Chains A and B, each alone.
Chain A
Amino acid sequence: MTVAAPLLTPEERVSYLAAGATLRSWLATTDHKRIAILYLISITIFFFIGGTAAALIRLDLLQPTRHFLTNEGYNRTFTLHGVVMVWFFLIPSIPATFGNFLIPLMIGAKDLAFPRLNLLSWYIYVLGGAVTVYVLIAGGVDTGWTFYTPLSTMFANGHVVAAAIAIIIVGFSSILTGLNFIVTVHKLRAPGMTWGRLPIFVWSHYATSLILVLATPVLAVTLVLLLAERVFHVGIFDPSLGGDPLLYQHMFWFYSHPAVYIMLLPGMGVVSELVSASAHKRLFGYWFVASASLAIAAVGFLVWGHHMFVAGQSLYASVIFSFLSIVVAVPSAIKVYNWTATLYKGDITLDAPFLFAMSFIGLFTIGGLTGLMLAMLAVDVHVHDTYFVIAHFHYIMVGGTVSAFFGALHFWWPKITGRLYSQFWGRISAMLIFVGFNLTFFPQFILGYLGMPRRYHIYPPELQVWHVLSSAGASILAVGYGLPFAYLLYSLRNGRAAGRNPWGVAGLEWTTPSPPPRENFLKPPVVTREAYAYPIEESGHDG
């Protein structure tokens, strides 16, 4: 760890990165680690596209009525922000990058079960992304990311067709990733890697994959129906034929609510790893945390109707959905309490990954509890479709998932690249993001309770102060998100070599060189210990 940045360490010479430097060696690779890098680069591009749209929104809302965007332009901007962030960043974010890179390493496999399908899924993602970029260039969509009928089928005049096709395409990429993970976890575990020894990261990706394969097809067919209605005037949800737009909402949320857990569960997996690693201690209550992931995946399918409490849904269905939504909070609460208890009697290093994990726990807790408020029927009637909801799901998806994504990036960066980055800047960026995030989104809870509807371009002047605070927070957030790209890229050339286990933590992935060799392990691992077994056995036994 004290080697001063040699051009290539001996371990780097056999690494997957050294296996070829041509464009072809990347674009035709079936190595899960390289595909993970391809994904990392592509989702980063979309993160910036979606982030730019967010910046435009926050800038434009500084003033209640005097805007630089037209109403139509504003609608297209927030729709683009939603579509890009949901389908092209959040859903693939952790699974397709860190899941892809780490699952085989964590279970001691050479690759995923279907490496070529894995590459295919990336190409499908790129194709879907290309169609989205076309939508952006052609002028955007004006329906909101939810594409509610009959607005989307009969009234909207944006590029609804292309946008829906892009989402259908990217859905197939999700399905292939999920399928690959399920089979890999079942069939490719190393000798001795029992289910009880799987890291929570793997458990939560397994749960995520179940949702990916079961929910995504429903979205695909729903959008196909939407296209049929818009393009061929086929009557499916058309109210003038007696059709029911609420059925569209049922189908849409049957996917889109579990999709929230697609975004969240991998983040919970990451945080479980980070908490245990930072405390250098076993995760408190392994089985509770592991089964909570599966419980969330299963119960998460039973709550979609809470998006429809004021939509004209049956009152009785609403009561049932409300109850189940409260049930699904139980496994989430278990996780939060267990993470906290893990720190007790720990040996805690206050590095950047730990700070990101702590901000995940804090922000996710606030997001989760406001979610419980939204599950309460009479409360939802007031705050539904207001900024309260916006703040709530940004706490979950940005405060939660994006924090976890950055935590994962900072924790496994040395494993992925073989280089160490500056802890100082890492900590600064974690704290900037935490502060900026809260300043951006906490005012939105208040705005929501005051009655500020979502997707409003013009708003009552008395709400301006809260909007200005929110926009100010967003500028801090932007700096926080921008910083890592500077110091992480700098570390690629100038960082010190990481060595196998720079954090001194348990986990199969830390027993192999950094970056790992093409086959992941120099010799096939045999697992004899549980995940999170501390103190760790020093020095690699397979070198």
Chain B
Amino acid sequence: MKTLRDLLRDGRFKFAFAVCLILLILSVMSFFSPYDPYRWNVVPRDLSPQWPHLFGTTSTGQDIFWLLTFAVRNSLTMSLIASMVSRVIAIIIGLTAGHKGGKVDKTLMFISDSFLIIPLLLIIIMFAVMVRGRMNLAGLGLLLGMFGWAWDARVIRSQVLSLRERDFIYTAVLSGSSTLSIVFKEYMPFLIPLVFATLIGNMSWAIGMEIVLAILGVLNLETPLIGTMLYWAINYQSILLGYWWWILTPVMTSVFLFIALYLMSVSISEYLDPRMRIQRVGRA
């Protein structure tokens, strides 16, 4: 908890943490929503923000506030699944490539390169189209997780390469401890902070991807996500019809969410890299 207290002193982290807290509260509130997000025409349509509909209602007859709670919950869970999956893959590939080196390193990096090379958006659209009907949150998370690890595997590998040069790794290797214990005892403490920072980065990538897929109408459009909310708002011409509250809610949520995630990953990575911290501290 001490690190959290220290981190909170950093203004940027404070703002990011506040936004994340609000979003978490929103997701929890979704369990108490009086309306079923899958039903349409449950409330009068096209009401501007007023009591009892704080954020107004949509042309499909849904309350925007409660819809947002579901959207945020689903988007966050989906992006968490996606970034967890991609972290696991990135660590495994990054670690083995970095630690083993030689042939293994070349082949693993070759695989991750080929993932970077294939036009990603179109492959994901194809998979989404393929699974569309039966695509639930976990499915989408898995799909994005499968494609989100290539870049971070490379980052982890270069970190491991620089770590491997350090003496304490040589002593561990020479003292005959198994690769697994080296990996967990020696590398992990250094990697955890890096993994955490890239996790947040990957989460924002996953949510960004989900929004693009939803706007292209390739996802299962019934499940409430930030992307699908945007899709319905655009599809029902909320901009031209002047229902500004309908288009603004998902846009503002996604902007704040991205800013929070970005600031959090920047301040955490700065917190981890002492040199950056001193440089900032001195600026009294």
Q: Do A and B come from one complex?
A: no
